[in-house]
Chains A and B, each alone.
Chain A
């Protein structure tokens, strides 16, 4: 393939990729979400620029110049960048599938998609920090050429990071446990490079030298990230190549699926059957399982903070805040996409009498049952006298009777299908504006109510009030669930159209 032909194909594939984004079923629906996205990026851009200006001046008069301090913290930047990419960067294996049978060399296709990742504007995001920072901290020592070299060097590091991330992202798609490996590598680097022996500053010194090399135009310093990027590019190409075949020839380990009886749920009749569905969906669908595991991890983190540490013991507000989160975080994470999984078989649900109502009831009881776990964790601080029993009980009931009913409103508005067993790509997990607003309210409003009540009354009285509110909401669940069901049915055609168009 000659250069001209390669360039033509490169442009064509780029065009197709842009069209696929523009013509996504959620593109039109999410215009406001895009505005939110731009506001979010704008907010961070301003934030980073402020940091850039601040860090350029804060280290004046110390042994190291500001740029040395920043270069010396290179690992911190790269680690933050690595984890941030989980919300932004996709893997290209899926993109190449439609071209599989076309007369385009597979390796050329992968090169195009990998190049797109390296040349992505996302790798320039940190420029909001480094451009003002370098302007104030680098120009006065190394001049404009040094400044350009500094920016170029850092950009190379972020490009390198994008390919490093891509390797782990591909592996994580196979198994979530792969996330532990880069985390362990970073932990080891931090431990042996910084915390293990404070007098031994090899990591700091090394990155400072690298950063100075960028400013002085030392070719070797540029060559290092370039060579590493090329190596990672080819490793990625090989991995993605295999990944394409793996996905096409994907035969799940299906030979012996264990049939789950769960006969203890039979006593709950139809609702019990839908609860079984909920459990099986969580166990057997990759994306639902990962969402649940993440939720449980957050829940355990808050529970551990609550039960085993005394960091917030002296601050009643923060203690209550953590207590609310122990109970609310799992539900918030899973219920924001309520009905999205069911979008896969919405026609079945809609052709059975009141099955959506039974499903909603089952989901509600299932989520209420899950609150047993944070309640068990809460027993420890209750026995230690760190928290009142009524306080923990109030948080549990407030979640059941107020937070959950609020989140369940999303059953009326959610109308995109979550592809249950596909990879966790950005396009598959993107949230609507309504979901973002609801999860934000679900996480923060209880906290403000708590805060207001504690400020006005004492903790015990505030807890009794919350307990009363929660208990009322819980006891009224048949009413508000039916109300949600009726509103869902009123919007059913719109919702079904949305589910269908995002499923096909």
Chain B
């Protein structure tokens, strides 16, 4: 699923949060969005997902302008923050709800959930706990699984490694790579964890004050050095 941004600009008062002329993510890519706090990563995700109105420009998923149609929602999965969680449900009820509204049969749902067994590490389902009472890491897991459950062709995850313990971070990396390999889905993740991002992504985009200042594929020889140098000096 291809994603594109054209002349997208978003300001909050005087502050430019996002200013992108053209940005295209091609089908099947795993893109890592990196940048310091306030670089515009979350704003970019919110514009793509039509959760905030850009001052100008258009975001398209699969050629559909996200602000003008809802058809892209069927093939997109996202987890940005806890605003994606219904916290008075148990994880099972939440997955069941998402399964039903995405027309996934109970058998298929169980099979799909089994794929996340290692990631959940026995701490998410079967605990008879409401989502709001889970730890931050387990909430994060519920949100990520919820975004992937209907096997979207475009997956957007904001800081997916946050709150996760080291084992879960590794499981997360494996999960994303495997998902991309099996479904050919496009994945965009933002992260402050450079090691994980460089490990799994096929392309890295560096944002600063809403502008894209570097955008290289993994094949680019100096990628790691350049990215690390940027963060050392900024």
Residues in chain A within 8 A of chain B (CB atoms): 251-252, 254-260, 266, 269-270, 273, 276-277, 280-281, 284-285, 344-348, 350-355, 358, 420-421, 492-493, 496-497, 500, 503
Contacts and interface: CB of A to CB of B under 8 A. Distances in A.
A259 B95 CA distance: 13
B136 interface: no
A133 B152 CA distance: 72
B51 interface: yes
A269 B97 CA distance: 11
A351 B133 contact: no
A345 B87 contact: yes
A353 B128 contact: no
Contacts of B74: 353
Given A256-B128, A277-B97, A348-B85, 19 more contacts: A254-B129, A254-B130, A255-B128, A257-B130, A266-B100, A269-B100, A277-B89, A280-B88, A280-B93, A284-B130, A344-B83, A346-B83, A348-B83, A350-B49, A352-B73, A353-B71, A353-B73, A420-B87, A503-B83
Interface in B38-79: 49-53, 70-71, 73-74, 76, 78
B195 to A, nearest CB: 28
Contact of A353 (B70, B97, B100, B146): B70
Interface residues of B, number: 33
A500 B88 contact: no
Interface in B96-148: 97, 100-102, 128-130, 132-133, 146
Given A259-B90, A284-B130, A496-B51, A352 B83 contact: no
B86 interface: yes
Given A270-B101, A493-B53, A347 B133 contact: no
Contacts of B132: 421
A270 B93 contact: no
B177 interface: no
Main secondary structure of the interface of A (DSSP, over half): helix
A117 B150 CA distance: 53
Contact of A351 (B53, B73, B86, B93): B73
B215 interface: no
Given A347-B80, A497-B52, A252 B133 contact: yes
A344 B86 CA distance: 8
A128 to B, nearest CB: 43
Given A276-B97, A353-B73, A347 B84 contact: yes
A253 to B, nearest CB: 10
Nearest to B143: A348
A87 B184 CA distance: 56
A255 to B, nearest CB: 7
A339 to B, nearest CB: 14
A344 B49 contact: no
12 contacts: A257-B90, A258-B128, A259-B128, A269-B100, A273-B97, A273-B101, A346-B83, A348-B85, A350-B50, A351-B73, A353-B71, A492-B50
Interface of B: 49-53, 70-71, 73-74, 76, 78, 80-81, 83-90, 92-93, 97, 100-102, 128-130, 132-133, 146
A503 B83 CA distance: 9
A259 B100 contact: no
B86 A277 contact: yes
A322 to B, nearest CB: 35
A260 B100 contact: no
B76 A281 contact: no
Contacts of B92: 259
B129 A257 contact: yes
Contacts of A346: 83
A277 B53 CA distance: 28
Nearest to B147: A351
A351 B49 contact: yes
A354 B128 CA distance: 30
Contacts of B83: 344-348, 500, 503
Contacts of B70: 353-354
Nearest to A353: B73
A348 B130 CA distance: 17
Contacts of B85: 345, 348
A277 B81 CA distance: 20
Contacts of A281: 88
